[in-house]
Amino acid sequence: MKTDKKTRNQECSVIIDTDRCKGCELCMIYCKKNVLAKSKALNKIGYNPVIVENADECNACGTCYIMCPDCAVEIK
């Protein structure tokens, strides 16, 4: 399941594939804008995935995309 949230400029969006995410939090740690948060719900593989919580703060820098070892983050 992918979650899609529009960023502030509405030309880009951050998409997290929550079924692929293992919840390592690397994307959260390196996000300077605190856009991402840990979900309380488990995904299909038993992890608490990261979700987009503050999409309005995102500047689509791509750091979360670069840091994700599971390729669960996409910037469109």
Does an H or E element contain 20, and which?
A: none
- How many whole angstroms separate alpha carbon 26 and alpha carbon 70? 11
pLDDT of residue 10: 58
C-alpha triplet 44, 41, 21: angle, nearest 5°: 50
Q: How many domains does the chain fold into?
A: 1
- pTM for the full model? 0.81
Per residue of the chain (76 residues), give pLDDT as tens: 665 554 445 567 899 999 999 999 999 999 999 999 999 999 999 999 999 999 889 988 999 999 999 999 999 8
Residue 50 is predicted with a pLDDT of: 96
Q: Are 60 and 7 in contact (CB under 8 A)?
A: yes
Domain that holds residue 39: 2-75
Which CATH number covers residue 15? 3.30.70.20
